[in-house]
Structure 1
Amino acid sequence: MNENTLFKKLPLGVTFDDVLLVPVRSSVKSRSDVDVKTNLTKKIKLKIPFIPANMDTVTECNMAIAVAHEGSMGIIHRFHSIEREVEEVKKVKRVEDLVLRHPVTLFPSHTLADVLFLIDRYDTRSFLVVDEKNKLLGILTSRDYQFEKNLNTKVNKMMTPLERLIIAPHDTTLEHAKKILSEKRLEKLPLVNKDGTLAGLYTAKDIIYFESKPNALRDKEGRLMVGASVGAIGDFMERAEELVKAEVDLLLVDVAHGHADHIIDAIKSLRRKFPNVQIMGGNVATGYAAKDLI
């Protein structure tokens, strides 16, 4: 076979630099009129048709938060311990929960050393103080402990007690909460049930941020949405269970070659165990593989 015959048999190959999209006539008056929303699953609609790679060098809580603000979803990678992956999910769900239903709490017997540990773990500097029955007793903010040096000092010696707090009922609306925070010059508004147990927390910071991100991808409670990866062997079921408890919005069965019997079996097992959780699987590269996984 000579050189000319060889090149005639080779298919045409091009790179991105070889391709130009030719502009054509359009009826679109403004780029703001273009809708690029797309469904990630039947129940999850993205505002933009991109998601970041669920790699250990790409998507952890910070990336997931950033893309959720723009209308996409980050999927936390699975190359953590189960506990660490769960914490990454919780950080996203907690970062600007409009009503923080499960704020980080302390007992009065905790010490400054415990406080510093929780600051590092949850990236928060204010804590509600409760008793064993979850009844609100007070609040501990950075102003209460910033000059304290003794790591053994108890929380009940530093906190602002309940009688000095302004609180609101558990069903307080956003507008009412904004009014209270504004009139009383507050940063935080604890919510309590009729029996005095803690029901949640409004913060001025969360409300301001919530209203500044109209395109954010949020769940029905106003929290940012986030997914998390699991494998298909080993502890994948235990990992999935803990992630579901952390209220993850989507589980991704993440393997290099998704068109395999054990991957399909893993997805079936997850669907039976968690019928209300959105599930993705991959990686796949053909339509046949996609159909088998579906």
Structure 2
Amino acid sequence: MEIREGLTFDDVLLEPGPSDVMPAEVDVSTRLTRDIRLNIPLLSSAMDTVTESRLAIAMAQAGGLGVIHRNMTVDEQADQVRAVKRYESGMVVNPVTVFPDTSLGEVREIVARKKITGFPVVDRETGRLVGMLTNRDMRFERDPEVRAASLMTTGELVTVREGAGREAAQNLLRTRKIERVIVVDEDYRAVGLITMKDIEKAQAFPHAAKDEQGRLRVGAASTVGDAGYERAMMLAEAGADVVVIDTAHGHSSSVAAVVERIKRESNRIQIIAGNVATYDATRALIDAGSDAVKVGIGPGSICTTRIVAGVGVPQLTAVMDSA
């Protein structure tokens, strides 16, 4: 048996050297995968006591990424992902809409579930925009059976055509003193929503990690087997920027198999797989198609894997070997 030295981060220090860089000049942005850039190199863990939509939003606003845990139903986890993607964006793509015959009770259920207060009202048959229903329209109405058609604003709806820049929408919001602008296509169907609140949030967090559509980035955890594959596909459909195949022991055939299966279905889905602690395990997950590899077995301050199972590699050595 060859017993080699293993180092954790507490075992070493960085030796200082000459520098002409000031702290304010430092760029700490990094690539999580080839397609995803973060402005700070920090992710929050996919633990049920750590990351749900609230923390994922805060992480993305700071420039990092939160990974929504999987200790919930697939639908609940997908809703958490959607909550992050809808929180702040250049444009809410495919906004939640209601029909003229939707009851106020149904609308209020959507408000409670999705935390949305403004809805384009569209024709049930054609999808064309016919009105706008906001919290102001609903505030003093008590009858849950009253229909959206009776409450919605139908006058001169403020819209912009699909493809219009943010500045055009921002000018409309300011000059018309309104909260939201509806984005419509050439057939007058509501395809997006731009709100003053989102613009203000974007200005408050200039270093936020965002996707190509201006929405906050978010990750979500899945697992192996058919259930893990189906969860991963639903999370990707909900808008997750990256799916994390999150297991205690990532150097297993089941982890490699689900990565390969997801990548065969869509190479667009970004995959992080783990957890691993060796060169061979990292190589296996890269060969399976993983876009990033999660390194670390038992390095957390409250993790007992190394103590209970007697398994793991000191984290600095694990990172060096994996790299």
Tell me the TM-score normalised to structure 2 length: 0.82
SS at match of 1:41: coil
Q: How far did 1:131 drift? A: 1.3
SS at match of 1:138: strand
Q: Note closer, same or farther for the CA distance 1:18–1:40 as it changes in structure 2 (3 Å cut).
A: closer
Q: Tell me the residue number matched to 1:145.
A: 138
Aligned partners of 1:16, 1:210: CA distance in 2, in Å? 36
Q: Note closer, same or farther for the CA distance 1:147–1:262 as it changes in structure 2 (3 Å cut).
A: same
Q: Tell me the residue number matched to 2:245.
A: 253
SS at match of 2:44: coil
SS at match of 1:243: helix
Q: Note closer, same or farther for the CA distance 1:156–1:258 as it changes in structure 2 (3 Å cut).
A: same
Aligned partners of 1:128, 1:15: CA distance in 2, in Å? 55
Q: Tell me the residue number matched to 1:134.
A: 127
Q: Does 1:120 align with 2:112?
A: yes
Counterpart residue identity of residue 264, structure 1: A
Q: Note closer, same or farther for the CA distance 1:15–1:230 as it changes in structure 2 (3 Å cut).
A: closer
Q: Does 1:186 align with 2:178?
A: yes
Q: Tell me the residue number matched to 1:205.
A: 197
SS at match of 2:80: helix
- 1:106 paired residue among 82, 86, 98: 98
Structure 1 runs of 4+ with >6 Å offset:
11-20
Q: Tell me the residue number matched to 2:271.
A: 279
Structural mapping, 1:214-253, within 5 Å: 214-253=206-245
Q: Tell me the residue number matched to 1:79.
A: 71
Q: CA RMSD in A?
A: 2.2
Counterpart residue identity of residue 80, structure 1: M
Length, aligned pairs only = 283
Q: Tell me the residue number matched to 1:167.
A: 159
Q: How far did 1:252 drift? A: 0.8
Residues 95 and 191, structure 2, Cα contact 8 Å, conserved in 1: no
Counterpart residue identity of residue 109, structure 2: F
Q: Does 1:46 align with 2:38?
A: yes
Largest Rg, 1 or 2: 1
Identity of aligned residues (%): 38
Q: How far did 1:93 drift? A: 0.8
Aligned partners of 1:227, 1:281: CA distance in 2, in Å? 12
- 2:261 paired residue among 269, 272, 281: 269
Structure 1 unmatched runs, 5+: 1-10
SS at match of 2:93: coil
Aligned partners of 2:9, 2:190: CA distance in 1, in Å? 57
Q: Does 1:157 align with 2:164?
A: no
Q: How far did 1:264 drift? A: 1.1
Aligned partners of 2:116, 2:284: CA distance in 1, in Å? 44
- 2:48 paired residue among 40, 43, 56: 56
Q: Does 1:36 align with 2:28?
A: yes
Aligned partners of 2:49, 2:252: CA distance in 1, in Å? 26
Q: Tell me the residue number matched to 2:311.
A: none
